[in-house]
Structure 1
Amino acid sequence: MQNSHTKLPTENRIKQRAKKLKKELNISHSEALDQISAEYGFSSWFQLQEKLKKNKQAKTPTPAPSLKFIEDNDVEMTSDDYKLVDQERTVDLPIPIKHLISDNQKQLINIGVEYSLFEPTVTGLKKSILDATHTVRVHFELENFHFYWEQKQGPDYKVIKDAYFLTDTSITKSKLSLYRPVTKQGDPRMWFRKLPEFCLPGDQIAIIVNNDIAYLLNISKIDLKKSLNNEYSHIKKFLTEYEKQSNSVAEELLHKLKKLAQTPFAAMRKGDTAIGYTLEAKLGIDANSSKQPDYHGIEIKSGRGVKTRTTLFAQVADWNISPCKRSAEILNKYGYERDNDFKLYCTVSTQKENPQGLSFIYDQTKDELQEWHNKTDLVAIWPGDLLRSRLKEKHSETFWVEAKSEIINGIEHFHLVSVTHTKSPIVSQLLPLINSGVITMDHLIKKSGKTNRVSEKGPLFKINKRDLELLFPTPIKYLLTN
């Protein structure tokens, strides 16, 4: 602990000494600052800096001016600023704070909240500037909130949206500025008015988008478990309303499924698609090839039993950037003769090459899922944004229906058993799950021997039903029969 009789030097003196110490010991500037701070009884430079600020404020008769929100003109960050940002981001958080942040993230995932995080720095708060990171940009695009890639550079094209800071006891209105400066290469930027009053450098701030408004939670300072148990908490009220928005449609669909589950019903076609086709027909859903969810925004996935893989979505590669420009070309190169047809029916994974020599590689630098042949020839490319958008589009809410199959008088009948209700997939986990082999892809390409016509039923991205909890928050299972 600091000796109460020890007189602290000024901040400028400490920084001057840190420069010398950096050269003498061949260490980083931040390490030098931390070492000097330890000499005065502080665990880090951040703590010593806070103490110096308090001492300065105590000696100053009038309060220091508050940080100002910059309305129009962008501030160009120098190379030294960026170095300082990097140093600030390496400041290690105390273990209890790390646990609190982790627990709060789990709470958001458990209730199905799509969010992104950013970390304000000293430089950012002083200059009223925040980088819109890749994670934030993906989040904004998935929520159809803002698309930086279509935004032009300069103050004339700045976008202003409503925002709110949420705590248990208050709701503070703010304004979010989204822009690309004319400096540099127009790196995406954002700023929240009054942000310095809401957080400190190094805090973890969660952004939640709802009804085209950005809501901020400082998950370094709040305890969401306690907030969700506090009837008077503004955070609880917001998250409860967020969760309830689509419940009415889900309750309506659940009621219809329970009614259908009272007696077995006959299949209306044969094969793997019989259960899905028949169930949709019974619910009054027209059969079509649309990629949109089935029932008023809810996707319905059905199958016989719980051990089978289930399709998350179908998505072809981006042919504009892929070596192969269509499914027929992939078939011609890597297909095989089967009966009278030419086929490519196979599963592709990151874990090993399939019998056709095809496998996936996830290039994290480019954020691309790449299909390779024998690890030497690039076949096709799926941009990460494309796959995340398809998952979000297809499964913002899903009913995974389990049915038993039995033969009655020579005809297959289905008896609905249960439904697992999932909401808001955590799309940031999609590529990691593909990379780990949990999610795979099936090619289903065929050239008919009779017509020479090429058809593609996929590519289908699939997951085992037992692994749904790795992608979807807190699935709720309902038994459809007593």
Structure 2
Amino acid sequence: MTHMRSFSKLEERNIAYLVNHNISFTLVQVTGTGLKKSILDATAPMRSYFFEQGIHNYSEQLQGPNHKQILPTRIFDERNEYQTKTSLYRPITKKGDPRLWIYQLGEHTHADDIHAICAYKMEFRVINITRVNIEKSYTASEPSPLKEFIAELYHTSSTTSEELLAFFKCHKGEWFEAEITADTGIGRTIETMLGIAQNSNKTPDYKGIELKSYREKRSSTKNVLFTQTPDWSLSTLKSGREIVAKYGYLDKVKGKKTYQNTVQCNLPNSQGLGLTLDQVKELLELQHFGTPIEDVAVWTLRKLHQRLSEKHRETFWIAVDNKYQDGKEYFRYRSIEHTRNPILPQFDLLLEAAIITVDLLLCRPSGHGDTYSFKIKKNGMPLLFPESLTYDLLS
């Protein structure tokens, strides 16, 4: 598998500019071979992005030219746009590895240039971030198609967050009855009030904005970032039940083995389990620190970065006051922390510093499914989410 080369200073500035304007995108490097053969590999992050945007699902696409999908495409430079199209396909040869090609791309690129591909209204917008200075185009006095595109998407994003904040401000100080008396009761009630259907989708909740609610009184010192099962195909043990069988302990009430504990880097827990970050292999490893050290399970850093990026591109962290009356729970909104654009390299550093930890909740007596919950200490939030605003909903 080929990896994308290191970014230049201009590419870094372009990526930061898109991120700070809340524009979602995927990246592709045009290799010399790809340019010559008019073939680009659809990488795993790219395929995930297309799927999440509802634009294409390679896993359901059949092989061969008869099943090729063609999408309208616009290529931007700093002053102009060029209308073309992109084909997404799986060839008959080999395993039908996912491919794409942007027609006429050769007129706007050189070998090893990196391009941002933005999915928008069932079309693609393509920007050569190696050659185009996006900030220069956007701040220029004269209009340009690229400037108009960024302005439109940025306005749409800002409108959504303003709309959501207006909803919470409209209900400032009001008490609401939770749908159910359970840990998830308040979150479920907020989703119902916003018209969000109950489902197990791992994507953000409200028009691309993730909602995370927590009770201020009983709030722990950590926030849940996301849940993610290990990659069992790369792991020594192949399931949560195998972890429990080898390292679990007896639940005295149920008389069955369970495992509910936190694991972190640098310090094994009471059962001897801990985490190791292997940057060379790009893995987060769950290990038993005995003699010898035993490998247990792994997560790929690429998958964890993908989950963080998908889940928390924009998030409302909602703190609530709660009370109980006649066996029912009631709550009101206290404050909202509004975060955007986590810094992915910081995720690894915070893991190593044990500011991000993982709760293993396996074979629980309650009957809930196995959960691998990645949490961050609240004092680490500004390190992962540098762009945040806090809104007081009680004053």
TM-score normalized by the length of structure 2: 0.74
Structure 2 matches for 1:273-352, cutoff 5 A?
276=187, 283=193, 290-291=200-201, 293-295=204-206, 298-303=209-214, 304=216, 308-317=221-230, 324-337=237-250, 340=253, 343-352=258-267
Identical amino acids, percent of aligned pairs: 36
What residue number does 1:372 align with? 287
Shift of 1:257: 1.4
What residue number does 1:478 align with? 391
Say if 1:307 and 1:110 are closer, same or farther in 2 by CA, change over 3 A: farther
Distance 1:336 1:127 in 2: 57
Match of 2:270 among 355, 373, 386: 355
Distance 1:183 1:260 in 2: 58
Match of 1:238 among 131, 137, 149: 149
Distance 2:135 2:194 in 1: 41
**Any unmatched runs of 5+ in structure 2?**
none
- Asked if the contact 2:72–2:85 (Cα under 8 Å) also holds between the matched residues in 1, the reply is yes
For each residue in 1:355-409, what CA deviation from the matched residue of structure 2 results, as whole angstroms up to 9, or x when unmatched?
222233466787665433237444344466765665566546431113467999x
Distance 1:444 1:210 in 2: 39
Shift of 1:238: 1.0
For each residue in 1:271-292, what CA deviation from the matched residue of structure 2 results, as whole angstroms up to 9, or x when unmatched?
86676467567x4779967446
Shift of 1:197: 2.2
Alignment RMSD (CA, Å): 4.6
- Asked if the contact 2:78–2:133 (Cα under 8 Å) also holds between the matched residues in 1, the reply is no
Matched, 1:163 2:77: no
Distance 1:369 1:393 in 2: 19
Match of 1:193 among 103, 108, 124: 103
Matched, 1:174 2:67: no
Match of 1:100 among 10, 35, 48: 10
Distance 1:386 1:243 in 2: 27
Count of residue correspondences:
385
**Any unmatched runs of 5+ in structure 1?**
1-84
Say if 1:220 and 1:396 are closer, same or farther in 2 by CA, change over 3 A: closer
Say if 1:403 and 1:371 are closer, same or farther in 2 by CA, change over 3 A: same
- Asked if the contact 1:312–1:391 (Cα under 8 Å) also holds between the matched residues in 2, the reply is yes
Distance 2:207 2:49 in 1: 23
Say if 1:460 and 1:174 are closer, same or farther in 2 by CA, change over 3 A: same
Shift of 1:429: 7.5
SS in structure 2 of the partner of residue 222 of structure 1: coil
User: What amino acid is the match of 1:309?
Assistant: K
User: What amino acid is the match of 2:226?
Assistant: F
Match of 2:356 among 439, 451, 463: 439
Deviates most, 357-366 or 438-447: 357-366
TM-score normalized by the length of structure 1: 0.63
User: What amino acid is the match of 2:269?
Assistant: N
Distance 1:277 1:152 in 2: 38
Shift of 1:119: 3.5
Shift of 1:442: 0.6
Distance 1:200 1:230 in 2: 25
Match of 1:254 among 165, 169, 177: 165
Distance 2:123 2:88 in 1: 13
Distance 1:228 1:289 in 2: 39
Structure with larger RCO (C-alpha < 8 A, sep 6+): 2
Say if 1:275 and 1:234 are closer, same or farther in 2 by CA, change over 3 A: same
Shift of 1:327: 3.4
For each residue in 1:228-261, what CA deviation from the matched residue of structure 2 results, as whole angstroms up to 9, or x when unmatched?
3246232222122223445555434322311333
Say if 1:466 and 1:164 are closer, same or farther in 2 by CA, change over 3 A: farther
For each residue in 1:138-175, what CA deviation from the matched residue of structure 2 results, as whole angstroms up to 9, or x when unmatched?
54454454455655555444433222111342121122
What residue number does 1:58 align with? none
Structure 2 matches for 1:347-426, cutoff 5 A?
347-361=262-276, 369-374=284-289, 376-382=293-299, 387=304, 391=308, 394-395=311-312, 397-403=314-320, 416-422=333-339
Distance 1:154 1:279 in 2: 46
Say if 1:442 and 1:189 are closer, same or farther in 2 by CA, change over 3 A: same
For each residue in 1:15-71, what CA deviation from the matched residue of structure 2 results, as whole angstroms up to 9, or x when unmatched?
xxxxxxxxxxxxxxxxxxxxxxxxxxxxxxxxxxxxxxxxxxxxxxxxxxxxxxxxx
- Asked if the contact 2:260–2:364 (Cα under 8 Å) also holds between the matched residues in 1, the reply is no
User: What amino acid is the match of 1:416?
Assistant: Y
Say if 1:299 and 1:101 are closer, same or farther in 2 by CA, change over 3 A: closer
Distance 2:206 2:190 in 1: 12
Distance 2:92 2:52 in 1: 26
